[in-house]
Structure 1
Amino acid sequence: MRPLGLAAFDNERSRKKQYQLVGDALLAGNIEQMNSQLAKFKQLLANFALEHGRQIRSEPSFRNEFARMCAVLGVDPLNYSTKNDGGSVWSTVFAKDINDFYFGLAVRIIEKCRETRGSNGGIIALDKLLSDLNKGAENPISQDDIVRAVESLKPFGPGLHIENLHNGSTVLVNVPKELNRDQTNVLSACEALGYVTTPILADNMGWDAGRGQYVLDEMVASGLLWIDKQVQPTQYWSPAAVM
């Protein structure tokens, strides 16, 4: 005979509580097992880094794959320490602190930007920058290394950042402020002919003459574009296209 009244409610609450206790126990067991497996994976990752340190140092693609493995496991190589010596995986692999590696690379990037700013207006294609930095380098770097080095400078402000243009190309921007959307669109348009005009912007982006002229004048003032008034309509050239 099924219980009636308050007794039935008490039994139902008791069953729900028991189910909850069983569920909590299973969840705790699964979490403990996952944490144990993750710890093993992290230790295997550290052993892998020690065993293949030479390749990680000298081969950019190998270094990038190692960094991706770290990301999958949620491991920050800068902070993760091995149990043997207390040092980070990266510091062991590079025989020095990884911060020094990327800080040194960031300094080289800044120096290259300063050297070329007069010719490219502070905007340099990432593949061109990579080629310049790898000239004569004992251990070549990759674009991923450049991206990580630039990201390490974010606390210092937006003066140096990477921009993905709408045409698929990637550039490093070294200007006092971040590019807005209109400026990014203009740079993308410059990739086709090397220059733009207000009619080109009107035809391709639907801008009226006032908007186009304002954006172009602002970019000329910032050194992002060079102006050629000897032709009509006036052409606004990307310094990178002129070189």
Structure 2
Amino acid sequence: MGRTKRKFSYEERYAVWHCNGKKCWWCKKPLRLFEVTVDHVIPESLLDDDAALKEIIAQYGLPKDFKINGYENWLPCHNHCNQSKSRTPPAFVPGNKAILDRLAQVAPKAAGVANSVVSNVAKDKVFKSIFTALERRTLSLLDLHELLTAFAEDPATTGVPDDVIILDSGYWIPRDEIVREGLCQCERNQCVGQNEKVYCYFEKSLSSWVVRTGLFWRCYDEVITCPHCLAQHKRGHIGRQGICGKPYLSQPGRMGSA
């Protein structure tokens, strides 16, 4: 018996639609968000056939950590287009190689978009509570001002735990969720948009590749001429399988290593 098909959340469907042209990848016609179903370039059915999956991954030159259920394999599709597809496991299709290569580059952005949707929903719930308290006069703007000022000037007095790191963005990271920290590993003397090298904290929720690069996010995202393959892509993708033209054999994360 095959496994249950993946059920997609709203934020996943939105991110796939938003980051892939807002059109069906089969018929190429525009898609409205409520029409979106998520389709797999490499069929989900291969999760039940390890041998066939390994063969397809090898044929397309995909990284070993390629996820069938990941943004690197998802595209927006009309439901009727999705249903009309053949269920036969696919042979190698050269055109799909270009699609998968593009999706590998889009995947981090799509994940970020999905996370933003989740974050915005959570924020809206908090703001709703604050606005309700203001309307009922159980909380005043002065209360909010004093609280936020205390957070900025002396976090300990507001009950901020000792075991968290407060980032420049104002977000907290529990120390036990930090798997790496240190100065950005980019080759620049000053990080992108900064006057100095940035001291970075990396959470365990980040991908192992992002953690291993040791890059400040703006330096990671900066498009440069790759010193390995001489193509234009993000600094954080130097040597990355499926993106860089000359990937590291062992996929190390340090800049300049081979």
Q: TM-score range by the shorter chain?
A: under 0.3
TM-score (ref. length: structure 2): 0.19
Largest Rg, 1 or 2:
1
Normalized per residue, the structure richer in helix is: 1
